Amino acid sequence: MEATSVQPTIRGIGREAVTAVSEGAGEPEWMREKRLRAWGVFEATPMPRPTDEEWRRTDIRGLKLEAFEVPAQPGGDFHPETSTDHRSGFVQIVDGYVVETELDEDLAARGVVLASLEDAASRYPELVRKYLGSVVPAEYSKFAALAEALGKGVFVYVPKEVQVEFPIQVSSTMTRGGIAVFPRTLVVAEPYSNVTFIEQMYSDDLDQESLSVGVVEAITGEGANVRYVNIQEWGHHVWHFLVEKHQIERDSQENSLNIGLGGKFAKSNVETALVGQGASCEMLGLYFCDEEQRYDYHTLQDHVAPHCFSDLLYKGVLRDRARAVFSGLIKVRPGSQKTDAYQTNRNLLLSDNARADSIPNLEIEANDVKCSHGASVGPVDPDQLFYLMARGLSKQDATRMIVDGFFEPLTSRIPLEGVREKLQAAIDQKME
């Protein structure tokens, strides 16, 4: 394995780490250039300030990037993802390193690629060069630049007209506190192909803070169908940053589901750009914040082409002193006539000290469109609670049932039963 060729020295986030990551992976020269260029962008971009519009409600002054170590090798002691679900492929990532890759042989024979991004850069340079950073360039944000500079991750490629029958699952874990990982995912679905991709991040709760800065780029070709699920279950010690952006072409269909349960802090930018006419997407989100967790979602439905449809539904439950911000934008570019776009954010507060802010936005530059947005923040309906208690359920069981029902339209969309059950267990645990 490439990782073992690197001397396990401790190094912080810096230019040296960028070079070391690239050398350790034995990457081609162009990939290293790309990383170093991104590092330059990272250095040239100031940290977000509370005065920046996007960061007005979320304070990250407590984040000290210099405190984290970039792991030189994966920790040996991790909980592997175990599953009895039918999967077409599986990748295990530990401390940022791909340690296991499995792909159905038939699919491999038909040209499907499932590989670490570092391997793919050597083996499929023309594909990786073409697509990596094409949807989320380093200039997107300081964190996107950081992820491009130090990122390691997964490349999925589905050739034209290939149908991937069962989901491909990627499980990523961290074994230690004090480290930083930069998960990078690139999904390319060529025209008329079909794939379901589930990405999970999980770890125990540890004392020392850790950092995850990730970028997901997913390209859905003409007439293709992609389902993408991202589940974040880091321990409560992790700062989590994610830019997840989908680009969907003509007549394609894309469904994304972003689930947030873990972390100390989570900032997620989830975007879909509908760039070909007749494209259609569903963007779903579920979050459950407890204790002192801080979540900040920025979503964008970017209608670049006419006759497209987008429907966004994000639902959150908050308890204890948790806080969430949802800020969603529907953007309809000039000429994107006959756009059909909907955005809904609902928040359920289980304690008086929890807080959610919901900020819907529309920016419409076409005149023949249908757009709507709705937002709500409120406690559990006391009449619903009484109704269930009048049937013998304790207050806690009644609340749990209302929460389960609130999330049901989202949890029912998770395509692997085993993953769905574990998620339900995680939600149940948060209700304790």
Partner 1 sequence: MEKSLVIRNLHVNVAEEDKEILRGLDLELERGKVHAIMGPNGSGKSTLSYALAGHPGYEVTEGEVLFEGENILELGPDERAQRGIFLAFQYPMAIPGVSVQNFLRTAINSIRRARGEQDIRVPEFRRVLNEKMDLLRVDRGFASRYLNEGFSGGEKKRAEILQLAMLDPKLAILDETDSGLDIDALRVVSNGVNALRSPERTFLIITHYQRILNYVKPDYVHVLVDGRIVTSGGPELALELESKGYDWVRQEFAVPEAV
For residue 382, state whether it binds partner 1 (rule: CB under 8 A).
Answer: yes
For partner 1, which residue of 8, 46, 76, 392 counts as binding (CB under 8 A)?
Answer: 392
Task: Tell me which stretch binds partner 1 (CB under 8 A): 87-95, 177-185, 407-415, 420-428.
Answer: 407-415
Q: Is 383 in the site for partner 1 (CB under 8 A)?
A: yes
**Token reading at 366:** 């076409």
CA distance 306 to 254: 16
Residue among 170, 166, 171 at smallest CA distance from 106 = 166
According to the binding rule CB under 8 A, does residue 409 interact with partner 1? Answer: yes
Whose CA is closest to 256, among 316, 208, 305, 299?
A: 299
Is the CB of 63 or the CB of 389 nearer to partner 1?
389
User: Under the criterion CB under 8 A, does residue 401 sit at the interface with partner 1?
Assistant: yes
Region of 11-19, 63-71, 129-137, 395-403 interacting with partner 1 (CB under 8 A):
395-403
Give CA–CA dist 149/145, Å, rounded.
Answer: 6
Taking the complex as a whole, the smallest distance from the CB of residue 383 to partner 1 amounts, in Å, to 5
61 binds partner 1 (CB under 8 A): no
**Stretch of 276-284, 285-293, 349-357, 381-389 contacting partner 1, by CB under 8 A:** 381-389
State whether residue 228 is helix, strand or coil: strand
Contact pick of 395, 425, 428, 429 for partner 1 (by CB under 8 A): 395
Based on the shown chain and the rule CB under 8 A, indicate whether residue 391 belongs to the binding site for partner 1: yes
Nearest alpha-carbon partner for 265 in 289, 290, 242, 293 = 293
Binding flag, residue 352, partner 1 (CB under 8 A): no
The DSSP letter of residue 46 is: P
How many residues bind partner 1 (CB under 8 A)? The answer is: 24
Please give the structure tokens belonging to residue 194. Answer: 């079909």
Considering only the C-alpha atoms of the chain, give the largest distance between any 2 of them, rounded to a whole number of Å: 68
Binding to partner 1 by residue 60, rule CB under 8 A? no
Closest distance to partner 1 from the beta carbon of 376 (Å): 13
State both tokens at 374. Answer: 């709705």
Judge contact between 303 and 340, C-beta under 8 A: no
Residue 402 engages partner 1 in binding (rule: CB under 8 A): yes
How much helix, strand and coil, in percent to the nearest 5, is found in the chain?
25, 40, 35
Nearer to partner 1, 63 or 401 (CB): 401
Any contact of residue 406 with partner 1 (CB under 8 A)?
Answer: yes
Q: Is 432 in the site for partner 1 (CB under 8 A)?
A: no
Told to check if 381 binds partner 1 by CB under 8 A, we report yes
Rounded CA-CA distance 152/137 in Å is 16
CA separation for the pair 412, 410 (Å, rounded): 5
Neighbours of 270 (CB within 10 A): 25
CB of 343 to partner 1, least distance (A): 19
Residues near partner 1 (CB under 8 A) are: 381-384, 386-395, 397-398, 401-402, 404-409
